[in-house]
Structure 1
Amino acid sequence: MKVVKFGGSSLANGPQLEKVINIMQADDQRQILVVSAPGKRQADDVKVTDLLIQYAVNPQSEILQKEIYNRYWEIANYFSLPVEKFSQIDAQIKKLALTTFANSADQLAAFKAHGEKLNAMLIALIFNHLGLPAIYADPKALGILVTGTADSAQVSEFTYQNIKRFPFDDEYLIVPGFYGYTADDQIATFARGGSDITGSIMARGLKAELYENFTDVSAIYAANPNIVAHPRAISQMSYKEMRELAYAGFQVFNDEAIIPAIQGNITINVKNTNDPSAPGTLIVPDTELSIKHKITGVANSNRFAAIYLHRYLLNKEVGFTLKILQILLKYNISYEHMPSGIDDLTIILDKSQIDEQVINLAMAEIQQAVKPDILEWYEDYAIIMVVGEGMRNQVGVLTDILNALSTRNIGVKMINQGASRIAVMLGVAQADVADAVAAIYTDCTN
């Protein structure tokens, strides 16, 4: 059995869904279909999820109701689905506006999740209309239980036992991605790329032989194609490599989504809906990896910032770092990395989790609590991650990387290499990040 997930661009309209149906029929092992909400049909289009977010803010808007209705009806009409069968989709859209929620966070999560829910319901109707027996498998019926907050759900271990017990035979299972249910029966959504997470959960729960993740690219590439012209396609990579690269900027596959696959020891194949015969990229357990290149990929992201502080004899003071972490905890700030020296400490943060007011308050408390000689906030911060299982036993990789940057006069603000030796993290100015990625790719990845 294979679990197959398709992203929003693969499900944006009728012709795209027709490709999906053909892909599912091309392999008898493809039985579980996990779907995203319909994405953009063209560059200036609006995603259905964004329409639903607007609808959550203004649930009485008949204009938004009609826009959402039209997006799904356009797909239904392409396959000549009778209006009476489509009526249940229309009813669900209207029901949202009449539902009472405990708070605005629960309301927003439920509205957003309906992008996937309605699409899975519609696709199941279309499959059956075309003579392809299919079951709409809602996360509640599957037993996808989650903890955490309304917009940052974490899957419960009980989920996997529940999925195993779900009754089906030879039918296609059409599963909405992106969300699960809390213990008090509320919808909660996963983080960005949440449909990837659902696909991975289903693959582990059903012990699938393969999890195919269809996107709009034919492979994961060794660098951002917007920075490096025609970068090398990665044919195979390890779980660890994918985690590091996805975290640092590769958007093809969600970094959190790989965890259930790791736990289930399931191979992932990233493929292209518009070119399904292309081999794509395999993400495999370490024991199955065939290392062909020293460096597998170079990723970058501008979503980081940093707190830098300097104080002499910092390393001699017991509890110094603890004081800072307690302040970050007070303001609900999680840190990403904390490289340090004997007199210096850099705390790297995800800018998307904080605002200017919060960081100013936290910085003021840090100044008062530990009295550093220097305390600075670096907004102009970009992270580059150089990743490769082949680096582990190679001498001089870091030297090569730094030489590639120094010959282009690119300064490095921070270097961090973990004990596994498969990843090197570099901090550079945002203005230098594109040149730095191109330099490392050109000089070090052959």
Structure 2
Amino acid sequence: MKVCKFGGTSVASAQQIKKVAAILKADPSRKIVVVSAPGKRFDDDVKVTDMLIRLSQAALCNEDVEGYLSEVLDRYAQIAIGLDLGQAILDIIELDLRNRLESDKGNPGLFFDQLKASGEDNLAKLVAVYLTSIGLHAEYINPKDAGLLVTDFSQRVQALPESNNRLSALKDKATITVFPGFFGYTSKGELRTFERGGSDITGSILAAAVKAELYENFTDVDCVFVANPRIIENPEEIHKMTYREMRELSYAGFAVLHDEALMPAFKESVPVCIKNTNNPLAPGTMIVAEREHSFRPVTGISADSGFSTLFVSKYLMNREIGFGRKLLEILEDEKISFEHTPSGIDNISVILRSHQLNTEIEHRIVHRVKTELHADEVNIQSNFSMVVLVGEGMRNATGLAARATAAISRTGANIEMINQGSSEVSLVFGVLKQDETKILKELYKEFFSSVLVQ
């Protein structure tokens, strides 16, 4: 049995959904299908999820929602007409959306999630109807009925371990299961959504629960590339990589797969394959637990922006027991997570995601660190990018850090921070956002333009 997840571009139109049907028809072992909400059909198009966000915001502000609602319904109507489906499925979708709009707005977060999740939910219903109409015998399954349980509202959204036993029953179904991605339900029956791109997570959860032979993640690229093709012209392809390598690259900006999507599959040793809906015969990129060693130490290069640095300096900080714990407790009080903590003898930098900060929060953090920890210097700076080199072979490669820093030096950019994890699978450089692109290009030239066989 294979579990297939189709991303937003794969289900953006009737034409794309016909390609999905052909892929399923070509391989009867593809028994569980996870779908995203319809994505962009062209560059200036609007994703259905973004339409639903506007709709929910209007509803929460007690504005007239009919225009926003019509926009969403029209998108589904275009898909249904292109698939020769009748009015019945569109009536079901409209009734569902109107019921969600009339639900309790007392908890704005709950209401917001209800509306956002309707993109995947209603598309799954439509796809199931279409597949059945062409003889593929499919059934829409709601995550609540299937038993996809997630954490309560006080916690970050994650699937609960008990979901596995409930979801494993899906493997016994004779029909194709069409399952909406992106959301699950708490034990109280409240709907909660994963982060944007969370349909990848749903697919991985299902693949793990049914112990699939393969989890196929269909997107709009033939494979994973060693670097962003929008920055590097014709970058090399990655044919096989490990879970750890993909996890590190996804964290650092690879948009191919959500960075949380691999853990469920990894725990059950389910291999993952990134494939192209528009070119399904391409072999794609296999993601596995272990792979043979390559002569090339670096598997991929990635970068992500939107980072800030909390810099703290205090003389004899290294002698002060509990200093790091107290610093992180201040961030915990502000409900802020951290990414990296490079440090020296008398100073420490905490790398944060900038979206967690605002002027008020920054002032509170700086004030508390100065008054409670008696720091000599405290400041927060923004507009940083993290450039990451990833590869299982890096741990056995000598001089790799020197090659990387020399390449960055050639660009004239300054390195603000260096961090290497204990696994030695990744090497992270903090740089100014304005230098990100030229650094990526120079690192690609260093590690991929000329192959040095070792």
Q: Give the TM-score of the pair, scaled to structure 1.
A: 0.96
2:254 and 2:155 map into 1 onto residues whose CA distance is 22
Secondary structure (helix, strand or coil) at the match of 1:84 reads helix
On the 8 A contact 1:150/1:187 being kept in 2, the answer is no
Residue of structure 2 equivalent to 1:120 = 124
**Which of residues 349, 369, 373 in structure 2 aligns to 1:370?**
373
Residue 318 of structure 1 corresponds to: 321
* Residues 169, 210 of structure 2: 8 Å contact kept: no
- Per-residue CA deviations over 1:89-112 (Å, capped at 9, x if unaligned) read 221122222222440000000100
1:221-370 correspondence to structure 2 within 5 Å: 221-286=225-290, 288-370=291-373
Q: State the AA in 2 paired with 1:347.
A: V
For residue 57 of structure 2, what is the aligned residue in structure 1? 57
Please tell me whether the aligned partners of residues 307 and 346 of structure 1 are also in contact (alpha carbons under 8 angstroms).
Answer: yes
CA–CA separation in structure 2 for the residues paired with 1:415 and 1:166? 46
- Residue 40 to residue 151, structure 1, CA distance change in 2 (3 Å): farther
The yes-or-no answer on 1:420 pairing with 2:406 is: no
Letter in 1 for 2:38: P
Cα-Cα RMSD: 1.5
Give the structure 2 partner of residue 405 of structure 1.
Answer: 408
- Asked whether 1:44 is paired with 2:44, we answer yes
- CA change 1:252–1:172 in 2 (3 A) is same
Deviation per CA, 1:82-134: give whole Å up to 9, x if none.
21343212211222222224400000001000000000011111111222201
What is the distance in 2 between the residues matched to 1:334 and 1:387? 23
* Cα shift at 1:251: 0.9
8 Å contact kept, 2:157–2:194: yes
Q: Distance in 1 between matches of 2:394 and 2:313?
A: 32
**Match in the other structure for 2:28:** 28
1:364-405 deviation digits (Å, cap 9, x = unpaired): 111112232222212131111110001111111111111111
Is 1:396 equivalent to 2:395 in the alignment?
A: no
Correspondence 1:98-113 to 2 at 5 A: 98-113=102-117
Aligned to 1:200: 204
**Distance in 2 separating the partners of 1:169 and 1:27:** 16
Residues 311 and 134 of structure 1, relative CA distance in 2, 3 Å threshold: same
For residues 178 and 28 of structure 1, the distance between their equivalents in structure 2, rounded to whole angstroms, comes to: 25
Aligned: 1:6 with 2:6: yes
Q: What is the one-letter code of the residue matched to 2:249?
A: L
The alignment status of 1:146 with 2:189, answered yes or no, reads no
Q: Given the alignment, which residue of 405, 427, 439 partners 1:436?
A: 439
Shift >4 Å, 4+ stretches: none
- Cα distance change on mapping 1:289 and 1:29 into 2, 3 Å: farther
**Distance in 2, Cα, partners of 1:226 & 1:408:** 19
Change (3 A) 1:81 1:336: same
Shift of 1:280: 1.2
Distance 1:31 1:165, change over 3 A: closer
The offset of 1:152, in angstroms, is: 4.4
Count of aligned residue pairs for this structure pair: 445
Q: Are the counterparts in 1 of residues 124 and 140 from structure 2 also a CA contact under 8 Å?
A: yes
Aligned partners of 2:201, 2:45: CA distance in 1, in Å?
A: 25
The unaligned stretches of length 5 or more in structure 2 are none
Q: Distance in 1 between matches of 2:171 and 2:348?
A: 54
Can you list the C-alpha shifts for 1:140-193, whole angstroms capped at 9, x where unaligned? 111000004389411000100001134753311000000000011010001121
1:86 aligns with 2:90: yes
Aligned to 1:179: 183
Q: Which stretch shows the higher mean deviation, 153-162 or 219-228?
A: 219-228
1-structure distance, mates of 2:381, 2:162? 42
